[in-house]
């Protein structure tokens, strides 16, 4: 004699209003790169924003203002992306699969490189230098030794050495010249980081 048994399943859904932070995103490759991009961007914006010559001629103001505009824009956008991925696990998994992050990193790479290179070329063509020019430039080179794996950083170091040779013997005229030069070099370093982000975004977008 068979017995029929009916089983009833009850599903309970629990919701919480607690704010969860996606800490694991910081440990991923795009999370680490974004943190370095933000840190270098803050330093570059702080330096060039402090020493920019607002009372100077337009031909001297344009390169510095162009670099400040690009660096600030990239800093704000990258910060928003990082905060979005930290505050939402779904965002961290969806955004890399969209075309937005890929296009953003490609455009940011080109603009960052153009503005940083334009600023460095503008500064190296000047006929004056700051106090302790060689010492400060050497300190900038030492700071870059930790990131020599990036090709653009090596180019920045060679450019800094060339600037020292070209400016040897010139009189002291401008305040903050080397700080601006250092800010432009940081822009090239950040360009390398945005190149890495672009490569990673393209690969993630292709995987879907």
What integer pLDDT is reported at residue 197 of this predicted model? 79
Distance CA 149, CA 139 (A): 18
CA–CA distance, 85 with 94 (Å, rounded to integer): 9
Residue 188 belongs to some domain of the structure: yes
Residue 147 lies in a domain: yes
Domain of residue 200 covers 23-207
pLDDT of the residue at 101: 85
Residue 153's Cβ-count burial label (10 Å; 0-12, 13-18, 19+) is buried
Does residue 18 lie in a domain region? no
Would residue 15 count as lying in a domain? no
Position 149 scores a pLDDT of 35
**CA 41 – CA 190 distance, rounded (Å):** 7
Taking the chain (208 residues) in runs of 10, the rounded mean pLDDT of each run is 61 60 87 89 85 70 85 92 91 85 86 82 62 36 34 48 53 63 76 79 71
Instruction: Please state, in angstroms and rounded to a whole number, the distance separating the CA atoms of residues 186 and 35.
Output: 15
Tell me if the pTM is above 0.75: no
Q: Is residue 71 part of a domain?
A: yes
3 belongs to a structural domain: no
| 74: helix, strand or coil | helix
**Cα three-residue angle 67-69-71, rounded to 5 degrees:** 65
DSSP string, 79-94: HHHHHHHHH-HHHHHH
**For 25-39, b where at least 16 C-beta lie within 10 A, e where not — what string?**
beeeebbebbeebbe
On the 0-12 / 13-18 / 19+ scale of CB atoms within 10 A, 197 is buried
Q: Is residue 46 part of a domain?
A: yes
- What is the domain count for the chain? 1
- At 45 the pLDDT is 86
């Amino acid at each position: 004699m068979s017995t029929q048994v009916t089983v009833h399943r009850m599903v309970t859904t629990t919701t919480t209003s607690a704010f969860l932070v996606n800490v694991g995103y910081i440990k991923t490759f795009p999370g680490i790169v974004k943190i370095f991009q933000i840190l270098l961007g803050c330093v570059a914006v702080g330096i060039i924003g402090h020493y920019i010559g607002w009372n100077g001629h337009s031909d001297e103001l344009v390169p510095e203002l162009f670099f400040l505009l690009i660096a600030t824009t990239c800093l704000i956008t990258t910060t928003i992306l990082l905060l979005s991925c930290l505050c939402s696990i779904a965002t961290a998994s969806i955004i890399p699969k969209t075309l937005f992050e890929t296009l953003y990193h490609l455009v940011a790479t080109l603009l960052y490189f153009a503005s940083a290179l334009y600023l460095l070329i503008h500064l190296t063509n000047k006929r004056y230098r700051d106090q302790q020019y060689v010492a400060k430039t050497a300190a900038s080179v030492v700071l870059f030794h930790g990131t020599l794996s990036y090709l653009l950083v090596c180019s920045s170091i060679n450019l800094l050495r060339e600037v020292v040779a070209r400016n040897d013997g010139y009189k002291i005229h401008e305040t903050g010249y080397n700080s601006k030069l250092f800010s432009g070099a940081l822009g090239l370093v950040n360009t390398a980081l945005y190149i890495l982000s672009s490569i990673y975004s393209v690969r993630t977008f292709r995987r879907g």
